[in-house]
Amino acid sequence: MNKREFIKRIALVGLSTPVFTRLDGLLAAAEGRSSLELATDEDFWAKVRASYKLKPDYINLESGFYCIQPEDTLENFIRHVREVNYHGSYYMRNLRLENKQRVTAKLAEMAGCSADELVITRNATESLDTIIGGVHWNSGDEAVLANQDYGAMRSMFELVEQRYGVARKIIDVPMHPQSDQEIVDTYAAAITPKTRLLMVCHIINITGHILPIRKICDMAHSKGVDVLVDGAHAFGHFEFSINDLNCDYYGTSLHKWLSAPLGAGFLYVNKSNLHKVWPVFASPKEPDDITRLNHTGTHPAHTDLAIANAIEFHNRIGGARKEARLRYLQNYWTDQAREMDHLNLFTPKDRHRSCGIANVGVDGMESSDMAKKLMDEHGIFAVSINTSGVNGCRISPNVFTSIEELDALMAALKSMG
Ligand SMILES: Cc1ncc(COP(=O)(O)O)c(C=O)c1O
């Protein structure tokens, strides 16, 4: 090995090895126990909670915007900032690409797709808007989306309408569906021979409703329509594989449920669709190279490195265990709330149609007043949502949330009756 190779090897090792391994003993003790059994083990989750530095000022039930990093990931992130700064341009010229490819491969493995179909972005907005704005639209084409979709993507479709004359067909997702077919049929009814693209949330951010993506994709494909999935709240929250979803495009943020540093996301494009999308920023790459869609110039390369640490933390806990715990926490409080006459649940009751997120409102109370009361009178932080048939507070706990905190939420909700 020559000197240059040696320096490079050392630098790569230094950048990839995590420095903290707090969870190891805990997880060894949990070996052999099922995810469902572990979901209710408060001692276990109290130790996971200890991996986070939590503000004592309020109970944080608003993980949906940004799921804070555990201390391990944060310390590694800070270390990467220092390392990249230490190497300077040497890192950017000699190590950055190789590291980015390594992290991309890890993400692709977790997402269940191949590494040449995935590119790291800054967030779900960049990922999804790259597709919405990049499709080779013709005047008169149609796009299907929902009132419950995220505002930024709805605005992007509006822009595409103004720019190219694309008509938007906007559906309402049934809040308490009787079956998957009811949702599939709602989307199917909006498709016409002019429909080019259907966008659908994997999980609706305001209600926590998980949609039957595979069935929607199969239906849309049978009519020749491509599907873009908004997975901003899905990745790292519950288990799935992109290949099983059979979608054409998938965009997510990693600073949400994967607990990566702020400003990280990914875009998946099925290989057969790469040629259908114009990049937003020009790049010299070939049309069959997905990185062509992501030429955003020099960016915080240390964030890419910390994504690997976030995946490592996630895998240590285990995706199935995390999903089971988050669903258990949500059901713990919503099962009680559904019994109270003055409360309205804006999240479907079927266990498989939701996970950690749910939304609750109080009869006769504006959601903004409710959020204020929760914070001012009970020290509980949750976000108010008043749109698309929802007037309540979104409650998004995390793996650090304790049962005592949810008991405090229930006491607060009870007092609002
Ligand atoms: C459903 C949904 N899509 C997209 C986004 C955009 O995510 P980001 O701001 O990380 O790009 C969000 C953000 O909360 C969201 O809830």
Domain endpoint, select from 312, 338, 360: 312
* CATH number for the domain that contains residue 252: 3.40.640.10
Residues 325 and 268 in one domain: no
What is the total count of domains within the chain?
Answer: 2
Residues 303 and 171 in one domain: yes
Domain that holds residue 334: 320-415
pLDDT for 19:
46
Report how far ligand 1's centroid is from the alpha carbon of 298 (Å).
Answer: 23
Using DSSP, how many helices (H) and how many strands (E) does the chain show? 16, 13
Residues 181 and 326 in one domain: no
Contact at 8 Å (CB) between 381 and 61? yes
DSSP 212: -
* CATH number for the domain that contains residue 397: 3.90.1150.10
Residues 153 and 281 in one domain: yes
Report how far ligand 1's centroid is from the alpha carbon of 46 (Å).
Answer: 29
For ligand 1, pick from 148, 150, 155 the residue to mutate: most ligand atoms within 8 Å of CB: 150
Report how far ligand 1's centroid is from the alpha carbon of 30 (Å).
Answer: 34
Domain endpoint, select from 312, 346, 375: 312
Residue 8 domain flag: no
Residue 350 domain flag: yes
Residues 264 and 410 in one domain: no
Q: pLDDT tens track of the chain, all 417 residues?
A: 565 665 555 555 455 555 445 677 788 888 899 999 999 999 999 999 999 999 999 999 999 999 999 999 999 999 999 999 999 999 999 999 999 999 999 999 999 999 999 999 999 999 999 999 999 999 999 999 999 999 999 999 999 999 999 999 999 999 999 999 999 999 999 999 999 999 999 999 999 999 999 999 999 999 999 999 999 999 999 999 999 999 999 999 999 999 999 999 999 999 999 999 999 999 999 999 999 999 999 999 999 999 999 999 999 999 999 999 999 999 999 999 999 999 999 999 999 999 999 999 999 999 999 999 999 999 999 999 999 999 999 999 999 999 999 999 999 999 999
Residues 294 and 387 in one domain: no
Residue 386 domain flag: yes
Report DSSP letters for 61-121, one per residue.
Answer: -BTTT--PPPHHHHHHHHHHHHHHHHHTHHHHHHTHHHHHHHHHHHHHHHHTS-GGGEEEE
Report how far ligand 1's centroid is from the alpha carbon of 232 (Å).
Answer: 5
pLDDT for 185:
98
Residues 273 and 391 in one domain: no
Residues 299 and 201 in one domain: yes
d(CA 294, CA 279): 7
Residues 218 and 334 in one domain: no
Residue 126 domain flag: yes
Ligand 1 pocket: which residues have CB below 6 Å?
Answer: 123-125, 150, 152, 201, 205, 230, 232-233, 253
Nearest atom in ligand 1 to the alpha carbon of residue 65 is: 14
Residues 307 and 324 in one domain: no
Residue 26 domain flag: no
Give buried/exposed letters for 6-36 (b at 16+ CB in 10 A, else e): eebeebeeebbeeebeebeebbeebeeeebe
Report how far ligand 1's centroid is from the alpha carbon of 386 (Å).
Answer: 17
Closest CA to 307 of 242, 356, 235, 355: 235
pLDDT for 131:
98
Residue 86 domain flag: no
3 state SS of 151: helix
For ligand 1, pick from 253, 254, 359 the residue to mutate: most ligand atoms within 8 Å of CB: 253
Residues 204 and 138 in one domain: yes
Contact at 8 Å (CB) between 230 and 213? no
Domain endpoint, select from 265, 296, 312: 312
Residues 126 and 185 in one domain: yes
Residue 7 domain flag: no
Token couple for 309 = 């640490």
Residue 211 domain flag: yes
Report how far ligand 1's centroid is from the alpha carbon of 65 (Å).
Answer: 8
